[in-house]
Amino acid sequence: MKKLLTFLFTVATFGAIVSCGSKTEEPVVAEPETKVAIVYSTGGKGDKSFNDSAYRGLERAKEELGISYSEYEPKDPSTEAKNQLAAYAESGEYDLIVGVGFTINDSLLAVATDFPEQNFAIIDSVVDLPNVASLEFKEHEGSFLMGAVAGLTTKTNVVGFIGGVQFPLIQKFEAGFEQGVKYVNPDAQIVSVYIGGNNGFNDPAAAKSKTEAEIQQGADIIYHAAGASGQGVFQAAKEAGVYAIGVDSNQDDVIPGTILTSMIKKVDNALFDVIKNVTEGKFEGKSVIFGIKEDGVGTTDFALSRGKSVSEETIKRVEEISKEIADGKIVVDPIPASAK
Amino acid sequence: MEIILFLLIQTLIIAPPILITATGACVSELSGVTNIGLEGMMLIGAFAATVISISTGNPYLGILIAGLIGGLVSLLHAFISITLKGNQIISGVAINLFALAITSYLIKTIYGQAGSTPRMENLANRNLILIVIYVLAFLTYLFINKTVLGLRIRAVGEHPLAADTVGISVYKIRYFSVILSGVFAGIGGAYLSVVNLGIFTNNMSAGRGFMAMAAMIFGNWNPLGAIFASLLFAFGDAFATYIKTVNSSIPQNFLTMIPYVLTLIALVGLIGKSRAPKASGRPYEK
């Protein structure tokens, strides 16, 4: 009898917890036409990077297309994110389920295989299934423009690159930057260092000492693709009185005056386009790549550096190069020279 | 010559968070309490220092408060490990997980943003804090090896029963040692945020608490050994980065290994038999 009671109590408690849990994830808006669910990457909303950008895309879709959405911020991209994706898919309520970031790739692949009738989208990665739209970016094209800015602005003819972890996605940044610098300034030298280890994207102190080593080698402009570690790059540049270039979203105002511009990845535009396709019944489970031509990557507006740290001529030249890439006159290779 | 000087300076700048935490770890472990919660205490220290520094504009006050908060968190670890006789590893792991969660939660509630705090205006003077940390670490070595209290700490960690029979309070000594390790870890964390970077970002301690544990073992549970081990780790790191900046064709992963390879070589070749305090990790029951 006692056992039975304990059992019933346990079931009741779990039931209560589960129902509480699912309640908070219900969308508030009643009966709109299209419903979207999103599982963010581990950085979560407020990262001033691509999660925030995805969020802006959703908000825009809500305003302009009248959709409603549910969102979830997982702490780990494997078990937790996977369970949440599966829960969204199982409910059958959503017209589109979005996963943010390449770390969620395996989870989304597994869930999308189990639910072939459900539409998915993944940002920054490719899942090769007919029900998944993969949104990729030509980071190397945007980084080429950063390289051009750096190559035209450097006084020492040495520029630096700091990467989070050395794998293909981050090497695309290095490759584009390298080619951009060489394109406008063949004599310039590029010093590149990766932070590496388990915490490459979350170790600003390591990023700082590595940036200082590059500055010691004469680098006077440092471009980073290292997530939160980039804060260490900015601090080192500020202390040494040299310049840095931001990444992913507009980081120009993190330390005003120190940051020349940022390589922006317009995740919001890409996500908005996919949602628009869904509302029009034109969803396609294929890979879409956003480069300069598709307005997926680009520079900031140079609001804080125009005419000060970056000259008008430089900005004009970079705009020309941007056009040439869009027209296909310049082709940027996504693999850095050191990896060939 | 210029390069050697640069590498030495980099070593001195990179080492402090690991070094101060490692000396604290030695004291705790010598008294018989394993403290793997140091990583979390560093993180909480880094966060507390940032919050105080942003709100008062005084980074030095931030460092003091970071030490205090680190001590408070380690008091929790001491209570679980010493008074409740709980499993010290589980308590430490719990503190690490707690630290990661509470700091990222508080960033959101206090500053309404995620991932990092705003930047602070004033940073503490790096050279001054560097000197304080190195002096503090060296004093700890003298304290452990040359004072009566230091001898008692070691006695309690070797043979608590024997220490107890001659009238040393095992509990008091252990509480003191664990709290000291937390204070040091808090200061180590504060170095990262208010001395080095001027901002707190999620999980910014990035494994340095565990590196400190490694330095402690490498240094044979002797604060002086731990200081040298930390400096060696830091030098390996600076050296690897330097090599990469002059020759980009070497694969990055080989360079990342350098500090650890140095450690292995030193362990095999230089260090004699290493021996942990006998009662380390075991609660004392009267």
Nearest CA in chain B to A197: B256
Q: Which of B245, B255, B257 has the highest number of chain A CBs within 10 A, making it the mutation to test binding with A?
A: B245
Dihedral-angle region of residue A307 (phi above 0 means left; psi in -120 to 50 means alpha; beta otherwise): left
Q: For chain A, say whether B201 makes contact (Cβ under 8 Å).
A: yes
Considering only CB atoms, A213 lies closest to which of B17, B116, B245, namely: B245
Residue A112 has pLDDT above 80, yes or no: yes
Split at pLDDT 50, 70, 90, the class of B246 is: confident
Task: Decide: helix, strand or coil at residue A196.
Answer: coil
Task: Decide: helix, strand or coil at residue B41.
Answer: helix
Dihedral-angle region of residue A101 (phi above 0 means left; psi in -120 to 50 means alpha; beta otherwise): left
Alpha carbon of A42: minimum distance to chain B alpha carbons (Å)? 10
Split at pLDDT 50, 70, 90, the class of A102 is: confident
Residue B154 CA: distances (Å) to CA of A304, B25, B148, B181, B285:
59, 13, 10, 15, 18
Q: Does residue B187 contact residue B67 with C-beta atoms inside 8 Å?
A: yes
Q: Does residue A215 contact residue B263 with C-beta atoms inside 8 Å?
A: no
What pLDDT is attached to residue A248?
Answer: 87
Mean pLDDT value of segment B11-36: 96
CA angle A277, A279, A282 (to 5 degrees): 40
Alpha carbon of B123: minimum distance to chain A alpha carbons (Å)? 11
Residue A4 has pLDDT above 80, yes or no: no
Q: Which of B76, B66, B116 is nearest to B96 (CA)?
A: B76
d(CA A274, CA A290): 12
Condensed to tens digits (0 to 9), the pLDDT of residues A71-92 reads: 998 877 788 899 999 999 999 9
What pLDDT is attached to residue A23?
Answer: 43
Task: Decide: helix, strand or coil at residue A72.
Answer: strand
Mean pLDDT value of segment A106-130: 93
Split at pLDDT 50, 70, 90, the class of A5 is: low
Condensed to tens digits (0 to 9), the pLDDT of residues A263-273 reads: 999 999 999 99
> CB neighbours (10 Å) of residue A9?
10
Cβ-defined contact of A166 to B245 (cutoff 8 Å) = no
What pLDDT is attached to residue B248?
Answer: 66
Split at pLDDT 50, 70, 90, the class of A1 is: low
d(CA B168, CA B165): 7
Mean pLDDT value of segment A202-218: 95
Please enumerate in sequence order all residues whose Cβ is within 8 A of that of B15, keeping only pairs 6 or more positions apart, or say none.
B230, B231, B233, B234
The average confidence (pLDDT) of chain B is 92
Number of H helices, E strands in chain A: 10, 12
What pLDDT is attached to residue A14?
Answer: 52
Please enumerate in sequence order all residues whose Cβ is within 8 A of that of B11, keeping only pairs 6 or more positions apart, or say none.
B231, B234, B235, B238
d(CA A302, CA A311): 10
Residue A26 has pLDDT above 80, yes or no: no
Considering only CB atoms, B115 lies closest to which of A46, A192, A205, namely: A46
* DSSP code at position A290: E
Considering only CB atoms, A209 lies closest to which of B13, B248, B249, namely: B13
Token pair 């804090």 is found at B129
Split at pLDDT 50, 70, 90, the class of A19 is: very low
More confident: A235 or B246: A235
CB pairs under 8 A between A and B: 101
Q: For chain A, say whether B119 makes contact (Cβ under 8 Å).
A: yes
Q: Does residue A47 contact residue B115 with C-beta atoms inside 8 Å?
A: yes
Condensed to tens digits (0 to 9), the pLDDT of residues B171-221 reads: 999 999 999 999 999 999 999 999 999 999 999 999 999 999 999 988 989
Window 188-217 of A, Cβ < 8 Å to B? 190-194, 196-199, 202-206, 208-210, 212-214, 216-217
Alpha carbon of A269: minimum distance to chain B alpha carbons (Å)? 22
> CB neighbours (10 Å) of residue B20?
30
Q: CA-based diameter of chain A, in Å?
A: 85
Mean pLDDT value of segment A41-58: 80
More confident: B260 or B83: B83
Residue B155 CA: distances (Å) to CA of A51, A136, B33, B241:
54, 62, 13, 42
Mean pLDDT value of segment B3-21: 96
Condensed to tens digits (0 to 9), the pLDDT of residues A135-193 reads: 999 999 999 999 999 999 999 999 999 999 888 889 999 999 999 999 999 999 999 99
Q: Does residue A334 contact residue A140 with C-beta atoms inside 8 Å?
A: yes
What pLDDT is attached to residue A75?
Answer: 75
